[in-house]
Amino acid sequence: MSGLLAVASETFRTAVRLTSPPAVESRGDDSLKSVPFRSEYIFRKTLPATTISHVLLDFRIAECNDSLQPVIAPVETGRHFDNHELEEKNMSWGHRPAPHDWLVNNGMLDEAGDKVMKSVRVIRDFDVPYVGSCSKNGKKVYIDYQLPPHLEHKGKRYDIDRYITMHEVVEMLFEHELHFHYRDAHQLALRAERALVESDGLPWPVYNRFCAKWVKIIGNRKTYPNPPPDIDLQPEIDEDDKTTLRRMGAKRATKTGRNSMK
């Protein structure tokens, strides 16, 4: 199949040369995306049509002839848009991918992040020893009152609640729906959090240093006098973190491992 794709790629370039002005035949990036039906393949080509506009061309390899040369047919007519629209298409959090964009896709991840934020209520009024946590019913995400809500990097402002909430929701689902231990759920949630951070264009080392600083500041408090009354204590219980439970005033959880602040 790899040999066929190589032939297809070259045939696609020929097709683009036949359908594009000579002045732009060597410009633009073509990509190959497989689609999970009929063993067809989609080529997408964005070409500069003028100095201020682009045209988006889609081609499908529908079949092969007797000499194994793929037959390329246009999927749809070219769509013209200006360069500003191209930037929005590639970067907008509201981007809705085409049906065949089923691989890793930052636009779809952005939409998932937005849906996660809408699915819970974020509250920043309490002491939260592990920086972020969920309520026991999973409907609220608690973020420590002292954690800054934004991080600025190279002139751009990033919403920290978005990343913490993604982490906490994923972690909660694995802990309570699939009964994962906190450490395992945390690792999976950390991957989802990192993917969202990087999809927004924020370098992970920058974000990680920010988090490490505040984990230390919040974790060094001698007491947590105002914890959420319905906070999920499963992380502290799984870690046998009795010191933190005592600092929160969760006496029963410290003694019995019961997930309750009462």
Q: Is the pLDDT of residue 138 over 80?
A: yes
Residues 41 and 126 in one domain: no
Residue appearing with tokens 């990097």: 153
Assign residue 179 a region (left: φ > 0; alpha: ψ between -120 and 50; beta: otherwise): left
Whether residues 47 and 116 fall in one domain: no
Domain check: are 28 and 72 in the same one? yes
- Does 32 score more than 50 pLDDT? no
Residue 206 inside a domain? The answer is: yes
Phi and psi at 60, nearest 5°, equal -120, 130
170-195: b (≥16 Cβ within 10 Å) or e: bbbbbbbeeebebeebbebbeebbbb
Residues 190 and 240 in one domain: yes
- Of the pLDDT bands very low, low, confident and very high (cuts 50, 70, 90), residue 257 is confident
Give a yes or no: residue 209 inside a domain: yes
- Please tell me whether residues 119 and 245 are part of one structural domain: yes
How much of the chain exceeds pLDDT 70, in percent?
61
Looking at the structure, do residues 16 and 87 belong to the same domain, yes or no?
Answer: yes
User: Which band of pLDDT confidence, cut at 50, 70 and 90, is reported for residue 253?
Assistant: confident
* Residue-wise pLDDT tens digits, 177-232: 999 999 999 999 999 999 999 999 999 999 999 999 999 999 999 999 999 999 99
pLDDT higher than threshold 50 for residue 255: yes
Q: What is the pLDDT confidence band of residue 235, given thresholds at 50, 70 and 90? A: very high
Q: Is the pLDDT of residue 91 over 50?
A: no
Q: Residue 34's pLDDT band (boundaries 50, 70, 90)?
A: very low
* pLDDT at residue 102 in the model: 64
- Asked if residue 144 belongs to a domain, the reply is yes
Q: Of 92, 18, 27, give the one whose Cα is nearest residue 54.
A: 27
For residue 73, the enclosing domain spans: 2-91
The reply to whether 194 and 138 lie within a common domain is yes
Clarify whether residues 130 and 207 are in a common domain.
yes
**Helices and strands: H and E segment counts in the chain:** 9, 9
Mean of the pLDDT values across residues 65-87?
44
Q: Which long-range contacts (CB under 8 A, 24 or more apart) does 129-132 make?
A: 129/218, 129/219, 129/221, 129/224, 129/227, 129/236, 129/244, 129/247, 129/248, 130/219, 130/235, 130/236, 130/244, 131/164, 131/211, 131/214, 131/215, 131/218, 132/164, 132/165, 132/167, 132/168
C-alpha span between 113 and 254 (Å, rounded): 34
User: Are 160 and 206 found together in one domain?
Assistant: yes
Same domain flag for 82 and 117: no
Mark whether 10 and 67 lie in a shared domain. yes
> To which residue do tokens 């974000």 refer?
207
Tell me if 213 is assigned to some domain: yes
The number of folded domains in the chain is 2
Residues 179 and 51 occupy one common structural domain: no
Does residue 97 sit within a domain?
A: no
